[in-house]
Chains A and B, each alone.
Chain A
Amino acid sequence: GEDVEQSLFLSVREGDSSVINCTYTDSSSTYLYWYKQEPGAGLQLLTYIFSNMDMKQDQRLTVLLNKKDKHLSLRIADTQTGDSAIYFCAESQNSGGYQKVTFGIGTKLQVIP
């Protein structure tokens, strides 16, 4: 079945780059997502990449996809204290008329001032 794995915790200093990694198992995934969750809030869509792409850049965010290794990463350049949150990797497949999304358990990013 589908499974998404990511490390639980990452700590970086303000101004450094953060790289959050994720692996997934389903080769039929169509889209891969990164969501951000701040304390007490819902999941905010950060960015997503179609499975036939290798890279997507959006301001400070860079997503890299290695489809052969089923590895996805999110790089945050010039990490700020406001980036402290939990980041969820997710994969999706079309399944009988709806979008089936499998989430990882989330990586908690701590930014040290």
Chain B
Amino acid sequence: NAGVTQTPKFQVLKTGQSMTLQCAQDMNHNSMYWYRQDPGMGLRLIYYSASEGTTDKGEVPNGYNVSRLNKREFSLRLESAAPSQTSVYFCASGSGSNQPQHFGDGTRLSIL
């Protein structure tokens, strides 16, 4: 059972380049989430999708866009990468309220 799969695992970008991070889950979960993890700051929610067809901003949405392509897939796009977006990005999914979220292994993104 793959769970939550993120691609790529690592990426280096130059400032101003664009990139899409991919996430897919095979647990038939309704909700999906994108977080970023920075040293000393824990995990911060970028965007979420409560159900297929809906997306909403989280705590730190600036500089990002998302697409809930179908129930399985939720992508995160950086239109014009900035060094401040250097981080580890995690995708998570959950079946809804009162159920824990399950995380992918992360994408380590460096922007030069």
Contacts and interface: CB of A to CB of B under 8 A. Distances in A.
B105 A96 contact: no
Given A31-B98, A48-B100, A94-B98, A99 B42 contact: no
Given A43-B90, A96-B50, A99-B94, A104 B100 contact: no
B48 interface: yes
Interface size class of B (residues with CB under 8 A): 20 to 34
Contacts of A103: 42-43
A66 to B, nearest CB: 21
Interface in A38-74: 40-45, 48
Interface size class of A (residues with CB under 8 A): 20 to 34
Interface string B81-107: 000000000101010111111111110
B12 interface: no
A99 B93 CA distance: 10
Contact of A99 (B40, B98, B104): B98
Interface in A61-99: 88, 92, 94, 96-99
Interface of B: 4, 31, 40-43, 45, 48, 50-51, 56, 90, 92, 94, 96-106
20 contacts: A30-B98, A40-B105, A41-B106, A42-B104, A42-B105, A43-B43, A43-B90, A43-B92, A44-B103, A45-B102, A45-B103, A98-B31, A98-B48, A98-B50, A99-B94, A99-B98, A99-B99, A99-B101, A101-B101, A103-B42
Interface of A: 4, 30-31, 33, 35, 40-45, 48, 88, 92, 94, 96-101, 103-106
